[in-house]
Structure 1
């Protein structure tokens, strides 16, 4: 241990106290030994450090910071160097705001388009997500502070996320859901990892010895700190045994006492606690050094320009019929859509950034050179019908050569803690589009949202520009693409299905009660669509340009692939060449092709460049469940290079020597997986894959409610008080939506309805403790007065204990003075 001598000077109580937060965002300090508090702040795409109320969940605005494009947006750039540059600027701002740990990036897979937090994640592909995350981490940590990759792991739905049990086979866990984390640890060298709320195959992730010890600590040799998601600790002692150093936020000393009692009883050896303290001290002292070495201010304008560059390179041109774009000089455009006036530029929830500058479309037209004849909102932002606005918009559209229609999803549709209800864009926006089409078919739609949407209306637009959530400079960036000042180079980091029912997890998302089964196994995203031959709207890796590129002269060696790439058009541009690998053997089920490399190249018009994409340790591997290790199957492999997952331009084969591992599967028992058609796998076949009986996916309504049951389950509680409370919550949610308070309604669902009871103790910063929670559960389970007496008794006891602790702390302080 690095800090062995210092740890010897700490009392047991002090060591235990370091394992939990001091308040909502800070860790505990021990001034007598020079151990300072660390500040942890949300920040996947910008620093969210609250100026006040740092001891509470807080909905107040954060200190102004640059709002960069979200991860889902920047992933479309396929530019790892750009991700690293964004990380550098995020790290600089973190140092300026005295943030030790920046809580991001998020690398969870986009298993399903409806996950409410997809805007905060990179991709449906683990290789792309991992490489982008590693770039961000290197950039952030270049300033000496820590990035924190999250949420470890298989956190792919928001509803019931604090109690859901994710059932997934080991191979899928390793190949799909952990690979991005592996790259973040090994290539990004992240100093901190955040565990997810959910269970993994029956055990909470931060207590899961297989995940935390076998894989993270031993296989990946991770030496850094693990922190819980906020309120994500279930059993503090089990978490500590698994190597989860830091619990956030504070529990006002309650879990510190649990750790102390566990050591006194022999449940935990003190050496285990010491090792956790040692890792935490390393993080504290390392990040503290950053403030001594780096400048404490940042250039707001310069950072804004970097945010603009990131947005420009991440915009995806999805349709360009009749080359309607870029807009020709002199064309008169009508600007229609509420999102043109008030840009939709970031997601909602814990990642909300208070931007330093905010560009809006209507303020940027003059410099763009585009001639606007006027603006009409056209629709109500939150879905209400308004015929008058439609009529005004149509009247303006009739006078224009081209209509720029700004549509998308509103701020409360995509949110931390909630999943979307459908893949559709609000009906009132589509009604507007249909009306505009009748008076002017020259429509260019500008789409703003952080995830995939259905587009049954796509034939009504000639141009489609997807800006995703482009950050504070996104509006100006989109105009630069429309005008032709910027040649779009983004490509989709996720597949856009024709309809939601086509998605492989359609029948098993989200888990509605106790568990969610990942029956589709490794076949998520393009791995499913390409293998099962399902038509999609836009494939993974797709994106148009104002120029064209030709591929030629593929050369495959043991080290990688080289090819010639020519810009055959009239303007300079960037092309993303994508390397896919497909095994020709059918002995082990696999997707038709998998992304194993990519490179983004700038090429002038008429120029040819030689492009190299190297192989690495992940190119040919698969996880063998019999040997419990990564293996290579000896076989011939298709080596494919393309402009998207379906637009393969060049192909060759290579024979690869294998590791000689035994075959992991009985093919006859897994017909769906060998065909790739895994959208409707039977429970029997899924059990053959995972090797055990799946747990009952529904709540047990016969048992009393306990710590990990949710408020939603009060609907069938024995106590009338609980059932009434449930209906009050449901009514409050309905009423708030009815009167337009959708953000508050969402907060009720996230922080009350889907919250497990233990969250009352874990998320309130010491207002309630687990002993008081026992009384609340008595009330819920039909013993109202007995429970109420218990709550009042334990609250009095808790307050008295705190007074005694304060007195003791004062005495100890005087002793060391």
Structure 2
């Protein structure tokens, strides 16, 4: 099922680990289990151990420093990566991320996220792969394999059931044993068995009464049953218990050094509340990680050589995006003879491109998945590069929700200033946000650091009232055009320490500026003490809002542009306040008046295509009124070029890895808000398409697995022999294309399974490519686990006997081929 390699431990690792362990005293061992700052572990020269660096995140390697001075490639979101349904492509994604990690001297990547799309309201939905555990496991295997083949470690996260963000630090997720095994643990089991991941990250949340960083029972499942032998790192700030944590196998409490380990662990050993043997067991795993990544003297790393770049990364980023885009709808407009897509550039004389996200590209979600890319190609950039001035742009609506980091028209730098008044060299900023997380540039200590200085200028992009503001907990002195406009403290507003990273900006002053007017800016910031448990950090921002346009005028201009064009392409999107780490969504509506905009444009031009630039499902009340719908997720820095290529003929290769409801009310599982601190997974194993099919009362907008091609496919035959299925499909269209053949298994309806069993479960898939008229056969191996359920009385996997039906097709709602087989 795969052709990747799994780096093997060298024979001398165990001996080297024991030799290094013997040279460490208790204090050093306890400190080794706590980081030294936001991203690094302790060095122990006496044991031949160098410091190791870990880094976010799933779509790009940030490195130690979250700064535009050291940009990171921004890949399509994990939801997009999985939508390729292509482990071979995801393996190449891993290679690219490993090369980036090596370039930034990162030893371990804090990814992949293999939680499930339990509810479409999950705020971090875009950072996970799928609603299906088998699909998630297959994609995650390839991701981990690709990264570790180049000698960089990974961490499966977040173990386990971190499927929503509301009260994530305190929520107790109460999950039945069967659902836990069949759904939420299953991807971790698959990855552990297939590719020997070097790490796991335990989550903030509690499961069935025990916090995950101290959940001995579930860590024993991972290690004893699944065979995981890597290190266990806490999510940042998640470790709460010294003795329970170390004895549950929490090997690294991050960030350091102020954690539950260190001096607290030394005291626990000295007082007899735990043993040094327990500490040693955890230290051995840190030392084994060091051996694997080349951080331990006397042994070779598991992977020889050092790859710091791959050929044509932008080309790969475009390919990933193209093969993630899901063509959800492609109709023949009234009075025409062909489907709306693909467009033919030689006959398109005027294309109206509409929507704020068409010009200001929405390429990634908020939180740990955020990086500063070297460049960003918007849809407007990509289409104008191909069609020139045939593309007419109209904004359409104003998506302003609250003041945001200063961006367009600003040229900014930031530098630390020492207590003696000496300012260190400035570094460029991508926008008004300064995020020195766990460090100060120049290696300054907190005793040496006086304040941060943001400087630069703004050339007004519009005439009117401009709003300036601040973000960050500390003292701000904001000087605009030589005048002090704000010189006060900004206080904490919540108990969530991550508000310091991603919290809201606050309006401070309104100024009337003429377009083209220059404004000199000076912003001094002195932070308060950072929340307990986190290294000293400098996190603040200069915020800005341009003069707000009149939306009625914007919509009128968009409608006029659409009416005068042959084709109208409307790009709709969520915003940074809709999809992000740290909070869940309240609804599935597009922000602002975007639905109204699409309806108005579609009424003006029947040749309307909607590009849905979101990381997760949204309601589309206008779906029946437009000719085409293309789902592009968060497509990364090359998203605009990829979009142009797909609209103008390149095959959109993506298929849905989660079911899209028509409305939130239709979705089977929506609850993400705990009641009295508890969130009950009462739906059991019935999430996603399993729940939709079991309930059978409403059709989704698009089924799991859905996605159209620029050609047509016919499913011709399905044969099953033993644990192997053979599916024959044919390209009956007039263009070369790519199809994802999906195989589902259905048990005998009379099967006696306590609590019931899903009508269909994904058991395998394969990508095929074919020329017009070509027939292709694919072979799909079936796993024994696909015929089993978890018996809560026996606490074991149990086969569901009798006759099963294998079904094949292009999505779970359209399975034209069937063949019976015995379990």
With structure 2 as the length reference, what TM-score do the two structures score?
0.76
Which residue of structure 2 aligns with residue 616 of structure 1?
783
Say which SS state the counterpart of residue 283 (structure 2) adopts. helix
Aligned residue number for residue 370 of structure 2:
352
Partner of 2:407: none
Q: Which residue of 2 aligns with 1:309?
A: 319
Match of 1:557 among 721, 731, 735: 721
Greater Cα offset, 525-534 or 348-357:
348-357
Cα deviation for residue 62 of structure 1 reads 7.1
Of structures 1 and 2, the one scoring higher in RCO (CA 8 A, sep 6+) is 2
Residue in 2 aligned with 1:725? Answer: none
* Cα distance in structure 1, aligned partners of 2:578 and 2:644: 25
Q: Paired residue for 2:23?
A: 9
Aligned to 1:29: 43
Q: Is 1:509 aligned with 2:672? A: yes
- Are the aligned partners of 2:291 and 2:302 in contact in 1 as well (CA < 8 Å)? no
Contact 1:335 1:372 in 2 (8 A): no
8 Å CA contact 1:237–1:258 kept in 2: the answer is no
Structure-2 change in CA distance of 1:291 and 1:61 (3 Å): farther
Q: How does 1:113-192 map to 2 (within 5 A)?
A: 113-192=120-199
Matched, 1:400 2:565: yes
- 2:626 paired residue number: 461
Measured against aligned partners, the alpha-carbon deviations of 1:440-478 in whole angstroms (never above 9, x if no partner) come to 232101110000111112122111111111111111111
What secondary structure sits across from 1:412 in the alignment?
coil
Deviation of 1:148 after TM superposition, in Å, equals 1.0
Equivalent pairs, count: 645
Q: Does 1:530 align with 2:693?
A: yes
* 1:758-799 alpha-carbon deviations (Å, 9 max, x no partner): xxxxxxxxxxxxxxxxxxxxxxxxxxxxxxxxxxxxxxxxxx
Summarize the Cα distance change of 1:200–1:442 in structure 2 as closer, same or farther, 3 Å threshold: same
Does the CA-based 8 Å contact 2:352-2:567 persist in structure 1?
yes
Q: Distance in 2 between matches of 1:444 and 1:67?
A: 26
Q: Please state if 1:628 is matched with 2:638.
A: no
Report deviation, 1:327.
1.3
Asked if the contact 1:50–1:62 (Cα under 8 Å) also holds between the matched residues in 2, the reply is no
Cα shift at 1:11: 0.6
SS of the counterpart of 1:92?
helix
Task: Summarize the Cα distance change of 1:561–1:429 in structure 2 as closer, same or farther, 3 Å threshold.
Answer: same
- When residues 498 and 33 of structure 1 are mapped into structure 2, their CA distance, relative to the original with a 3 A threshold, is same
Asked if the contact 1:379–1:390 (Cα under 8 Å) also holds between the matched residues in 2, the reply is: yes
The alpha carbon displacement at 1:255 in A equals: 2.7
Q: Secondary structure at the match of 2:786?
A: coil
CA drift at 1:594: 0.5
CA distance in structure 1 between the partners assigned to 2:233 and 2:328 by the alignment = 40
Moved more, 177-186 or 521-530: 177-186
2:463 matched residue in structure 1: none
Contact 1:95 1:294 in 2 (8 A): no
Q: 1:576-627 CA distances to partner (integer Å, 9 max, x unpaired)?
A: 0111111113311101000011101111111111111111232212111111
Give the equivalent residue in structure 1 for 2:390.
372
Q: CA offset at residue 393 of structure 1?
A: 1.3
Does the alignment pair 1:257 with 2:422?
no
Asked if residue 495 in structure 1 is aligned to residue 659 in structure 2, the reply is yes
Which structure: greater helix fraction?
1
Segments of structure 2 that go 5 or more residues without pairing to the other structure are 1-13, 295-299, 333-338, 402-547
1:278 equivalent in structure 2? 284
Partner Cα separation in structure 2 for residue 154 and residue 248 of structure 1: 20
Shift of 1:60: 4.7
Q: Which residue of 2 aligns with 1:423?
A: 588
Which residue, 50, 58, 70 being the options, matches 1:63?
Answer: 70
The residue that corresponds to 2:767 in the other structure is 600
Mapped partners of 2:64, 2:230: distance in 1:
26
Counterparts of 2:70 and 2:580, CA distance in 1: 21
Deviations 1:357-396 (A, max 9, x none): 3212222235435873411111113358711211221221
| 8 Å contact kept, 1:95–1:290 | no
Kept after mapping to 2: 8 A contact 1:96/1:295: no
Per the alignment, in what secondary structure is the counterpart of residue 577 of structure 1? strand
- Is 2:234 the partner of 1:228? yes
1:202 lines up with 2:209 in the alignment:
yes
User: Counterpart of 1:547?
Assistant: 711
* Structure 1 counterpart SS, 2:765: strand
Query: Counterparts of 1:253 and 1:187 in 2: how far apart (Å)?
Result: 33
Residues in 1 aligned to 2:234 and 2:156: alpha-carbon distance in whole angstroms: 12
> 2 CA distance for matches of 1:453 and 1:224?
38
Q: Is the 8 A contact 1:149 1:193 kept in 2?
A: yes
Q: What is the aligned counterpart of 1:324 among 340, 348, 355?
A: 340
8 Å Cα contact 1:370/1:483 also seen in 2: no
SS at match of 2:195: coil
Equivalent position SS for 1:227: strand
Cα-to-partner distance string for 1:643-699 (whole Å, 9 max, x where unaligned): 10010021011122xxxxxxxxxxxxxxxxxxxxxxxxxxxxxxxxxxxxxxxxxxx
Kept in 1, the 8 Å contact 2:399–2:592? The answer is no
Instruction: Kindly indicate whether the alpha-carbon contact (under 8 Å) linking 1:330 and 1:371 is maintained by their aligned counterparts in 2.
Output: no
SS of the residue corresponding to residue 105 of structure 1 reads coil
RMSD: 1.7
Contact 2:149 2:303 in 1 (8 A): no
In structure 2, do the counterparts of structure 1 residues 7 and 645 end up closer, same or farther at CA, with 3 Å as the change threshold? same
Alignment deviations for residues 546-569 of structure 1 (CA, whole Å, 9 cap, x no partner): 111111221111121002111111
Q: 1:577 to 1:610 in 2, by over 3 A?
A: same
How far apart are the structure 2 equivalents of 1:567 and 1:368? Answer: 29
Counterparts of 2:785 and 2:751, CA distance in 1: 19
In structure 2, distance between residues paired with 1:22 and 1:462: 56
8 A Cα contact 1:549 1:569, kept in partner: yes
Following superposition, the deviation at residue 504 of structure 1 comes to 2.1
CA contact (8 A) 1:175 1:622 kept: yes
User: Are 2:182 and 2:789, in contact at CA under 8 Å, matched by a contact in 1?
Assistant: yes
For residues 414-463 of structure 1, the C-alpha deviation after alignment (integer angstroms, 9 at most, x for no partner) is: 10111111101124111212222332232101110000111112122111
Matches within 5 A, 1:656-675: 656=823
The answer to whether the 8 A contact 2:34-2:255 is kept is: yes
Contact 1:160–1:513, Cα closer than 8 Å, also in 2: no
Cα pair distance change 1:225/1:627, threshold 3 Å? same
Distance in 1 (alpha carbons) for counterparts of 2:322 and 2:389: 21
Alignment correspondent of 1:443: 608
Could you say which residue in structure 1 is the equivalent of 2:524?
none
Change beyond 3 A, Cα 1:290–1:335: farther
Shift of 1:517: 0.4
- Is residue 2:499 matched to residue 1:336? no
Once residues 37 and 627 of structure 2 are traced to their aligned partners in structure 1, the CA distance between those partners, rounded to angstroms, is 53
Contact 2:100 2:308 (8 Å CA) reproduced: yes
Are the counterparts in 2 of residues 105 and 148 from structure 1 also a CA contact under 8 Å? Answer: yes
Residues 183 and 292 (structure 1), Cα distance of their counterparts in 2 relative to 1, 3 Å cut? closer
Whether contact under 8 Å (1:67, 1:353) holds in the other structure is yes
2: distance between equivalents of 1:511 and 1:310?
A: 37
Name the CA shift for 1:554/1:435 in 2 (closer, same or farther; >3 Å).
closer
Structure 1 pair 352/290, CA: closer, same or farther in 2 (3 Å)?
Answer: farther
